[in-house]
Amino acid sequence: MKYIEYPELQRLAQALTHEGPECSVHTRIEAYSCKNIKRDKKLFRSLENAYNDEVSSSPPLPSWMAIDREAETTPFGPFDKHSSRKTLYLLIATLNVAFPDHEFSDVRPAHFNKEESGASVLNALSTTLVAPQRGGMRAPRTYAPPQAMTGTHPSLYRILDDVIGLADCEVFSFVPDIESDPHANDFSDDGDDIARRGTLLWSSHWFFLNRKLKRILFISVWSRTKGHGWFTEESEGMSSVSEKHSAERFLGWEGSVGAGARAMGLRI
């Protein structure tokens, strides 16, 4: 698993990053090669050994229960198939590279969902690009996304399609507990840093997997409250806007009503 540098992805992520009056929304869009390196092979062996140990230590089941268990599937397919487990291992390896200060070996299949398509993700990102408070990217009139992606900003579609080949992708989402979300504590242990950075409101993590290209596009979007030491111009230093963050819904990011909304206790 190796990071692939695409300057256009960095520029797109920057265009999708906002500083609102009471919270901020941050975006990462990164491409990774699925070609295994030494570190990945070691991780895959460890995960496979853990799976085999778990299976061997499980008590035998009655035949009728065994049949039912065989029918059970994960977001990656039947987990007794190596190909299904390998997909999970690829996503874990991606998370380990994307967040080197965290370890995701204990992540389970239940922490992931398989999406019907990436349209909802692309449409939510597109809404941010065309939000009235944003300047920046304009949709070129000479390029339009396929009908299946109606509602997607043409520039966004073109950039991502050039990198990952959207039509050939499987899309997965990572839905960790809020306490174990990698963005929950992405600051130092210093108390001043925590106060300055604010707390995590919500996050969404997506993987676009193209098996033909042996490549993964990782998209992570998260929102934070403004820290206690941050003041608006209107406040003239009298009050911290972080005290009223609970009322804010960040305009332009529909992803906050979805996988990321779990941090706010919202329901779809």
The CATH number of whichever domain residue 232 belongs to comes to: 3.40.1000.50
Residue 52: predicted pLDDT? 75
User: What's CA 70's distance to the chain center, in Å?
Assistant: 30
Strand partners, 167: none
What number is the average pLDDT over the span 7-20? 92
Distance CA 148, CA 246 (A): 35
Per the domain annotation, does 58 fall within a domain? no
28 falls in which pLDDT band (50, 70, 90)?
Answer: very high
Residue written as tokens 């073109």? 158
Per the domain annotation, does 128 fall within a domain? yes
pTM (2 d.p.): 0.73
How many domains, in total, are found in the chain?
A: 1
Per the domain annotation, does 94 fall within a domain? no
pLDDT by residue (tens digit) across 65-108? 444 444 458 999 988 888 989 999 999 999 999 999 998 988 99
Per the domain annotation, does 124 fall within a domain? yes
Backbone angles phi, psi at 197, to 5 degrees: -80, -25
Per the domain annotation, does 99 fall within a domain? no
Per the domain annotation, does 168 fall within a domain? yes
Per the domain annotation, does 195 fall within a domain? yes
Q: Which of 33-47, 61-75, 183-197 has the highest mean pLDDT?
A: 33-47
Tell me the two tokens of residue 80: 């007794």
Per the domain annotation, does 126 fall within a domain? yes
Question: Residue 252: which domain range?
Answer: 2-35+109-264
Residue 72: predicted pLDDT? 58
Strand partners, 2: 33
